[in-house]
């Protein structure tokens, strides 16, 4: 019997292609309810009824759910514990919000002590919390008319004092921001070393420290932006009163 076999060429067998490693899908940054208040003021003032609406302006605002935007402001009577909650309505451009109904001030002075966005407490700067809100009484029964020039000078003096105080707050905020940035950078370097060592516990600890440090740095950076916004508002008010303002070097936002 004759047996015929096929010749097999092992030398020319194709080399299997390596399986490509799939690219990791980036985790999207979750949205959060967040707002930075740059200004608070009274609008639609009725001096006879001593009523007004409260308006706040934002330098930044983001919503976790665009359909949910409940903003509530707590006003506390000066030197007392008496507080009232006011619900605000967000403007269509999301740059400001105004109280839905007029607030009765009578002859009292109020301050903003709390702000919530969808039940999330919002941090307020000292400039916002220390601002006094009141409805000025009419001068109809006054025997002596007010002096516009003196009123202007008093307003300028008040704003200049506020300007200097805010400059110091901004300087302190920038120092804090720089310090927290150094800490955040150091934790990233530590994390890189931990990942190189492939020690799971070291990597876990380094990630936790890095996350916290970067969160602290982010908050410090936001505070700088708030102070810069407050400073610019004061400068604008002084310019409107005819005061020449020389911009400080490096006072612009980062």
Integer Cα distance of 239 and 252 in angstroms: 17
Pick from 173, 230, 236: nearest CA to 58 = 230
Same domain, 235 and 189: yes
The mean pLDDT of 41-46, rounded to a whole number, is 88
Pick from 95, 96, 97, 120: nearest CA to 32 = 120
Helix (H, G, I), strand (E, B) or coil at 91: coil
Same domain, 124 and 210: no
What phi, psi does 72 have (nearest 5°)? -130, 135
The reply to whether 4 falls in a domain is: no
Q: What is the pLDDT of residues 210-248, one digit of tens each?
A: 999 999 999 999 999 999 999 999 988 888 888 887 765
Q: Which domain holds residue 206?
A: 149-240
Same domain, 101 and 160: no
**Helix (H) or strand (E) run with residue 22 in it:** none
Same domain, 119 and 190: no
Q: What is the DSSP letter of 11?
A: G
Q: Among 75-79, 138-142, 161-165, 215-219, name the one with the lowest average pLDDT.
A: 138-142
Please tell me the predicted confidence (pLDDT) of residue 168: 93
**Beta strand 71-77 pairing with 51-62:** unpaired
Which among 129, 160, 182 is the end of a domain? Answer: 129
The per-residue b/e assignment along 176-197, b for 16 or more CB within 10 angstroms, e otherwise, is: bbeebbebbeebeebbeebeee
Name the pLDDT band for 146 (thresholds 50, 70, 90): low
Q: Give yes or no for residue 46 having a pLDDT over 70.
A: yes
The reply to whether 27 falls in a domain is: no
**Beta strand 103-104 pairing with 110-117:** unpaired
- Quick check: 108 and 78 in contact, CB under 8 A? yes
Q: Which segments of the chain are extended strands (E)? A: 34-46, 51-62, 71-77, 83-90, 96-99, 103-104, 110-117, 120-121
Please tell me the predicted confidence (pLDDT) of residue 245: 78
Integer Cα distance of 40 and 55 in angstroms: 6
Which among 96, 129, 162 is the end of a domain? Answer: 129
The mean pLDDT of 168-190, rounded to a whole number, is 93
The mean pLDDT of 175-180, rounded to a whole number, is 94
Same domain, 90 and 123: yes
The reply to whether 199 falls in a domain is: yes
Please tell me the predicted confidence (pLDDT) of residue 251: 44
Same domain, 40 and 120: yes
Same domain, 160 and 203: yes
Same domain, 40 and 125: yes
Q: What is the pLDDT of residues 5-39, one digit of tens each?
A: 555 555 555 566 666 666 666 656 667 888 888 88
The reply to whether 99 falls in a domain is: yes
Name the pLDDT band for 132 (thresholds 50, 70, 90): confident
Please tell me the predicted confidence (pLDDT) of residue 26: 62
Overall number of domains in the chain:
2
Residue 66 CA to its chain's centroid (Å): 18
Name the pLDDT band for 179 (thresholds 50, 70, 90): very high
Alpha helices in 115-147 (DSSP H): 126-129
Task: State the CATH number of the domain containing residue 48.
Answer: 2.60.40
Same domain, 175 and 230: yes
């Amino acid at each position: 019997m004759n047996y015929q076999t096929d010749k097999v060429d092992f030398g020319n067998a194709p080399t299997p292609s390596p399986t490509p490693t799939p690219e990791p899908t980036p985790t999207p940054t979750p949205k959060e309810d967040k707002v930075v208040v740059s200004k608070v003021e009274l609008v639609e003032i009725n001096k006879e009824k001593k009523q007004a609406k409260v308006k706040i302006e934002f330098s930044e605002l983001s919503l976790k759910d665009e359909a949910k935007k409940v903003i509530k402001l707590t006003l506390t009577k000066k030197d007392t514990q008496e507080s009232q909650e006011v619900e605000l309505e967000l403007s269509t451009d999301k740059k400001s919000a105004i109280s839905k109904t007029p607030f009765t001030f009578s002859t009292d002075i109020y301050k903003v002590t709390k702000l919530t966005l969808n039940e999330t407490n919002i941090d307020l700067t000292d400039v916002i919390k220390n601002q006094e809100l009141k409805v000025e009484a009419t001068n109809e029964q006054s025997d002596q008319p007010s002096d516009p020039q003196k009123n202007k000078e008093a307003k300028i003096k008040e704003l200049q004092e506020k300007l200097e105080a805010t400059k110091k707050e901004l300087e302190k905020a920038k120092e804090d921001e720089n310090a927290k940035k150094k800490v955040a950078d150091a934790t990233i370097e530590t994390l890189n070393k931990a990942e190189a060592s492939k020690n799971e516990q070291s990597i876990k600890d380094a990630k936790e420290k890095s996350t916290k440090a970067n969160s602290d740095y982010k908050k410090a950076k936001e505070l700088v932006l708030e102070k810069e916004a407050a400073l610019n508002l004061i400068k604008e008010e002084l310019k409107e009163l005819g005061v020449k303002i020389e911009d400080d070097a490096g006072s612009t936002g980062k």
